[in-house]
Amino acid sequence: MVVNIFTDGGSRGNPGPAASAFVVKNTDGEIVYKAGVYLGESTNNKAEYMGLLNAWNWVVANNISQVNFFLDSELVVKQITGIYKIKDSSLSVIASKIKEIERNSGIKVSYTHVLRHNNKDADKLVNEVLDAN
């Protein structure tokens, strides 16, 4: 199965109350799964990474053969693809977990930066989780 996954994370304050989310769409653009997680006190960048890590955990558990990730964080896309170095040690730990999952999964993957207006579903879910907490 091939899926497109839109991930997002955000904090109200930096650091502040934070949440992450991901929305899985099939190749027809229909939402097949979505999840959001409240993270407590965290930074925006960590929330962005947690959205990606949680999405990867879902991918591995659901027999996916190819995943195309879409993130509105250009920084995370450039860091996870190796264009930028990760200087923050807490982000480096999460990124290492993501890359290990990616290597061990054998799943074909792509990471694409999209503008925020093209990531509305995941952004909305992040805000819903934050509003509920």
Q: What is the chain's mean pLDDT, rounded?
A: 97
**Could you give the CA distance from residue 60 to residue 72 in angstroms, rounded to a whole number?**
22
Enclosing domain of residue 20? 2-132
Residue that the structure tokens 């993501």 belong to: 98
| Total count of domains within the chain | 1
Model confidence, pTM: 0.97
- In the three-class reduction of DSSP (H, G, I as helix; E, B as strand; rest coil), residue 59 is classed as helix
Share of the chain above pLDDT 90, in %: 99
- pLDDT for residue 2: 96
Q: Residue 102: give its domain's CATH number.
A: 3.30.420.10
How does pLDDT run across 84-96, given as a tens digit for each residue? 999 999 999 999 9
- Judge contact between 51 and 7, C-beta under 8 A: yes
- The per-residue pLDDT for range 7-19, each reduced to its tens digit, is 999 999 999 999 9
| The total number of residues written for the chain in this structure | 133
Q: d(Cα 119, Cα 133) in Å, to the nearest integer?
A: 22
Of 64, 55, 30, whose CA–CA distance to 111 is shortest? 55
